[in-house]
């Protein structure tokens, strides 16, 4: 399978299993199915509320002896309520404990947004810390410290616009190695892709299939379906593939990592089998026309009137 190479030569398998929205009761089985069927990259986050169940899967699989810990790329993310410098390493240690690991391959700052330490999800202005109270550079320096301590091999960010990346790059001499963002044919992120490749920052595509299982409260009325898009389905038919496979292959071929979520055995397998599909130039041209700068995950849930986090994506590729 295609891999993304890091500065020190480490290689991240391009296709990983996403675990956002995977229920605690089903994710353990999903991760075991994935690993036993060839996945070597699992994407996690503290806020998904299921790292302890994923940890049970890791423990069973790695103790089973067929797959070694070092053969699997494991990513997790620092939640927004642990941005203060004294909170970063304890939050990471909790994730390691839940996942039953002694290191992560990649740890990301989940959002450029900080909540007060006791807030899981903000409801009002006073639930947030301002950027002055929790500057990103201080959180970033603790991520670098975690790397120095050997708790993580690589560090990066998620949901950062090129403007926010640029601000961080100005303040640090050690650039993030990854930016995980929403990325699919409706939100192709060409500018961000170009900016990141110029600065040796890899991208990971989340919500590659349109995240149809988001809670209703997070969905826009009449949001467009990626999996049912006629162009994607025409291309799928042409290659004898599924729409999901075309979407995954498209991301992989653009040189990004991609983390489709599934808890269904057949779809978990089908998604990895996208490696066998090939897209040609005419498919790429057709898909390029689908870019409508549409976001499924708008970040609106972080906006309370007048706080510092309005316009979280700084209008990068953004048309609400
Ligand atoms: P399920 O977990 O039942 O397979 P995203 O990765 O964009 O967040 O999308 C995840 C959603 O897409 C979930 O509802 C998941 O359901 C569904 N899904 C995953 N793989 C496929 C596939 N190959 N075809 C259709 N739907 C899929």
- For the chain, 320 residues long, give each residue's pLDDT as a single digit of tens: 899 999 999 999 999 999 999 999 999 999 999 999 999 999 999 999 999 999 999 999 999 999 999 999 999 999 999 999 999 999 999 999 999 999 999 999 999 999 999 999 888 888 999 888 999 999 999 999 999 999 999 999 999 999 999 999 999 999 999 999 999 999 999 999 999 999 999 999 999 999 999 988 888 888 999 999 999 999 999 999 999 999 999 999 999 999 999 999 999 999 999 999 999 999 999 999 999 999 999 887 777 666 667 778 887 655 44
Helix H segments across 5-116? 24-36, 51-64, 85-99
Active site residue 48: yes
Residues contacting ligand 1 via CB (< 6 Å): 18, 207-213, 227, 242, 244, 260-264, 267, 270-271
Domain 3-302 sits in CATH 1.10.287.130: no
Closest residue by Cα to residue 75 from 34, 43, 35, 110: 43
ipTM over 0.90? The verdict is: yes
Q: Give burial (CB, 10 Å; 0-12/13-18/19+) of 54.
A: buried
How many other C-beta atoms lie within 10 A of the C-beta of residue 319? 9
The pLDDT score that the predictor gives to residue 312 is: 85
The pLDDT score that the predictor gives to residue 122 is: 87
Indicate which atom in ligand 1 lies nearest the CA of residue 262. 2
| CB contact set of 185 (below 8 Å; sequence gap of 6+) | 226, 229, 232, 247, 250, 287, 290, 291
Indicate which atom in ligand 1 lies nearest the CA of residue 264. 4
Helix, coil or strand: residue 60: helix
Q: How far is the CA of 149 from the centre of ligand 1 (A)?
A: 36
> What ranges do the domains of the chain cover?
3-302
Q: How far is the CA of 206 from the centre of ligand 1 (A)?
A: 12
Greatest CA separation for the chain = 54
State which of 185, 209, 263, 269 you would mutate to test the pocket of ligand 1, scoring each by most atoms of that ligand within 8 A of its C-beta.
209
Sheet of strand 104-109: strand arrangement:
17-18, 41-43, 73-78, 104-109, 152-158, 178-182, 202-206, 257-258
Q: Is the dihedral of CA 128, 134, 137, 139 positive or negative?
A: negative
Phi, psi of 79 (to 5 degrees): -75, 160
Q: How far is the CA of 227 from the centre of ligand 1 (A)?
A: 9
Catalytic one of 48, 107, 128, 206: 48
| CB contact set of 62 (below 8 Å; sequence gap of 6+) | 68, 69
Token pair in block for residue 95: 């994730």
Strand-pair partners of 78: 109
Q: How far is the CA of 33 from the centre of ligand 1 (A)?
A: 15
Per DSSP (E only), the strands in the chain are: 3-5, 11-13, 17-18, 41-43, 73-78, 104-109, 114-115, 128-129, 152-158, 178-182, 202-206, 257-258
């Amino acid at each position: 399978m295609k891999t993304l190479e890091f500065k020190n030569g480490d290689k991240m398998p391009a296709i990983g299993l996403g675990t956002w929205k995977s229920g605690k009761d089903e994710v353990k089985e999903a991760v075991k199915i994935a690993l036993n069927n060839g996945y070597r990259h699992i994407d996690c986050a503290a806020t998904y509320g299921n790292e302890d169940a994923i940890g049970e899967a890791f423990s069973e699989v790695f103790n089973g002896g067929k797959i070694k810990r070092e053969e699997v790329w494991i990513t997790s993310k620092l939640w927004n309520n642990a941005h203060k410098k004294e909170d970063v390493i304890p939050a990471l240690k909790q994730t390691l404990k839940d996942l039953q690991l002694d290191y992560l391959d990649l740890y990301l700052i989940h959002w450029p947004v900080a909540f007060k330490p006791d807030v899981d999800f903000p409801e009002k202005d006073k639930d947030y810390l301002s950027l002055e109270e929790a500057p990103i550079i201080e959180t970033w320096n603790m991520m670098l410290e975690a790397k120095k301590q050997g708790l993580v091999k690589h560090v990066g960010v998620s949901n950062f616009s090129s403007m926010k990346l640029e601000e961080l790059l100005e303040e640090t001499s050690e650039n993030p190695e990854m930016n995980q963002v929403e990325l699919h044919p409706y939100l192709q992120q060409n500018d961000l892709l170009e900016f990141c490749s110029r600065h040796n920052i890899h991208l990971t595509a989340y919500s590659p299939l349109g995240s149809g299982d988001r809670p209703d409260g997070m969905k826009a009325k009449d949001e467009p379906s990626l999996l049912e898009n006629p162009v994607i389905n025409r291309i799928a038919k042409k290659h004898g593939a599924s729409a999901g496979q075309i979407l995954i292959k498209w991301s992989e071929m653009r040189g990004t990592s991609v983390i489709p979520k599934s808890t269904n055995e057949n779809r978990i397998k089908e998604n990895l089998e996208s490696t066998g599909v090939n897209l040609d130039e005419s498919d790429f041209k057709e898909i390029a026309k689908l870019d409508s700068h549409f976001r499924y995950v708008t970040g609106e849930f972080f906006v309370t009137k007048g706080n510092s986090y309005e316009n979280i994506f700084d209008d990068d590729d953004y048309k609400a």
